[in-house]
Structure 1
Amino acid sequence: MSGLSLLAALKAFDATARAGSMTAAARVLAIQQPTVSSHIQRLEVDFGVELFHRRGRRLELTSFGRTLLDYTRRTFSGEEDAHALLAAAKNHYVGRLVVHAIGPHNVVPVLKLFTEQFPLVKVAVGVGDSRTITEKIFDYQGDVGVVLNHADHPDLFGTPFRTQRLVVFVSIQHPFAQRATLRLCDLQGQRFVIREEGSTTRRVFENELKERGIEVQVALEMGSREAVREAVAQGLGLGVVAETAYVPDPRLTRLNISDTSMATRVHFICRQERRHAPLISTFLGMADAVSQRLIDTSEQPV
């Protein structure tokens, strides 16, 4: 297989692995589906490898295919960033930016600033927990992630954004709602409505309780902050969220716990080798500007 045909075949493989089907890959590459199929078959035959398991119409990467995808993503994401750099120089920033965030509260001010300055850039925003977002950034399924307490990894670049304290809250019908101040030990034995495993807020909260020898009951696990808030409002238990995610509600009361400083730290992350890609670099620069503005207005710095 010649160098050019190998490159074309690798592009066909990379697009298929990311898009999930040869038909979708053909649309991405603007070629015919049989051409994509031929490229992948040629790779498998010429090198004696199996890249995909065929499950009817569905394709699943083999172990070797996942390893190859790691290499092709490094190669072709660099090519895409080079195209983006040239397009930015020519067209004053056009293209698409994919952002994954733990929620809207920290990312929206940056999005507002970015879209005002670069209205031609299409921005797609996904929401998930920090672990899932980090995996997506590692796997080139997004450009920028907004996470809590980001993992220190040589392939990741992270810039601190803010520190946000954790808030414990209850239904106004709960006895604690009448207490002006509580201590953390007062939570002993209380029922909590809490986020699912993988939530950084949950991990920080549970670690603090463990260090202080305090045990609570996890009455319900919920998949979103909104679900937690509604369950607490209905009297199903106490809740805990970051202060930026706490939404005042006449059915709820925020508790004043005097002897704890539980907090999470928000970071904007990207892959280390992509931090200077034009759209990513500009977005991160705007995040730094918003972070400084928060500090200047006396919000808690990181």
Structure 2
Amino acid sequence: MDFESMQTFITVVDEKSFTKASQRLNLSQPTVSFHIKNLESYFSTTLIDRSPKRFKLTQTGEMVYQRARQISGVIEKAKAEVYEFQHQLRGTIHIGASYTVGEYILPSILKMFDEKYPAIDLMIQIANTERINRAVQLHELDVGLVEGQVHHQGLTSSPFMEDEMVVIVPKDHPLRKHEPVTFHQLQDQTWLTREGGSGTRAMMDSMLESYNIRPKKLITIGSNHGVVQSVKEGLGLSFISRTVVKHTNAEDLIMTIPYIKSAVRYFSIVTPVNEEEISKNAGVFIEEVKKKYSL
């Protein structure tokens, strides 16, 4: 199997089109087809369903695609490591962060690191925890800073900062007129939550299930700021990071409810479990984060 055929296959799948892949790679369409057939011959399987009306990966095609992405990421990482070795703490670190960490914690980390290592370029991706973990697994990112659990094969995590989850309630919400709030009054409320794959969403789902709270309605919002602003507008309740509440000037929305205890979780550093896959620059970044928070 040659590397060019593998890269061509990745591009065809990403573009979902032989024509678009040929344009992107500046290759003729017959050459692109040749590379795919070469790869199929190597694996003795059909990788892509070439039906006239659709483009679809076969099951084996999906397997090869995932591994090809990993191999490509490892090769790119090797190139970066050679460059870093020859140029000493130069090059690029690809850092991923979940929304809570990326929006409120990461900026101060980046400022600190950039002041110490100005020759290193920092490439940042912010997405939910699931996507960041997946990108580290595929070697698209060197390191991730996330909330929530890490269950992906080939990854390991270590906590660097403690965080607390709290309930926030609109200022004029009927619950604020009751002291104390009863379990019955907590039922059939509207709750604002993050999207699936978010560490914050996982914490809320666990809380609702643990305390047998039955929402009347769940409203999903794809950003922390959107959740807090919606609570301020009186749309509903939420269970969210105190870090987010603090940075959005919403601490007056926090409400202590006897039936719901605040929950402690951790922000974690996510890396490949194999330390040899961690670049020199990424290793330095990880050590600086650990020193900054000394958890």
Give the TM-score taking structure 1 as reference length.
0.76
CA distance in 2, matches of 1:25, 1:123: 29
Quick check: 1:41 aligned with 2:37? yes
Listed one character per residue, the Cα deviations across residues 38-66 of structure 1 (whole Å, up to 9, x for unaligned) are: 33333335654333345889965432222
- Are 1:83 and 2:49 counterparts? no
* SS of equivalent to 1:173: coil
Which residue number in structure 2 is paired with residue 298 of structure 1? Answer: none
Q: CA deviation at 1:89?
A: 1.9
Distance 2:262 2:174 in 1: 23
- The aligned counterpart of 2:89 is 93
Q: Which moved more, 1:62-71 or 1:38-47?
A: 38-47
User: What does residue 72 of structure 1 align with?
Assistant: 68
RMSD: 3.6
Inter-partner Cα distance in structure 2 for 1:51 and 1:197: 30
Measure how far apart 1:230 and its partner are: 1.9
Q: Give SS of 1:171's match.
A: coil
- The corresponding residue for 1:256 is 256
Q: What percent identity do the matched residue pairs reach? A: 22
Residue 74 of structure 1 and its aligned partner are, at CA, apart by 4.2
C-alpha separation in 2, matches of 1:278 and 1:26: 35
- The alignment partner of 1:192 has SS state of strand
Counterpart residue number, 2:271: 270
Equivalent-residue separation in structure 2 for 1:196 and 1:97 (angstroms)? 27
Whole-angstrom distance in 2 between the partners of 1:286 and 1:56: 53
Q: What pairs up with 1:173-192 in 2 under 5 angstroms?
A: 173-176=172-175, 185=183, 188-189=186-187, 190-192=189-191
Separation in 2 of the partners of 1:121 and 1:25? 32
The 1:99/1:216 distance shift into structure 2, 3 A limit, reads same
CA shift at 1:156, angstroms?
0.4
For these two proteins, the number of residue pairs brought into alignment is 286
Please list, as runs of the form range in 1=range in 2, the aligned pairs for 1:84-163 lying within 5 A after superposition.
84-103=80-99, 104-163=103-162
Structure 1: unaligned runs, 5 residues or longer: 293-300
Q: Structure 2 regions of 5+ residues with no counterpart?
A: none
Q: Which moved more, 1:81-90 or 1:254-263?
A: 254-263
Task: Supply the AA of the counterpart residue of 2:65.
Answer: L
Q: CA 1:100/1:59 → structure 2, altered by over 3 Å: closer, same or farther?
A: farther
Shift of the 204–188 alpha-carbon distance from structure 1 to 2, 3 Å rule, reads: same
Q: Which amino acid aligns with 1:280?
A: A
Which stretch of structure 1 is more off in the superposition, 42-51 or 138-147? Answer: 42-51
The AA in structure 1 aligned to 2:198 is S
Q: Which residue of 1 aligns with 2:217?
A: 218
Read off the aligned partner of 1:163 and give its amino acid letter. Answer: E
| Aligned partner letter, 1:234 | E
Q: Return the alpha-carbon distance in structure 2 between the equivalents of residues 186 and 241 of structure 1.
A: 22
Match of 1:9 in 2: 5
CA distance in 1, matches of 2:23, 2:272: 27
| TM-score of the pair, normalised by structure 2 | 0.78
Q: Report the Cα offset of residue 202 of structure 1.
A: 3.0
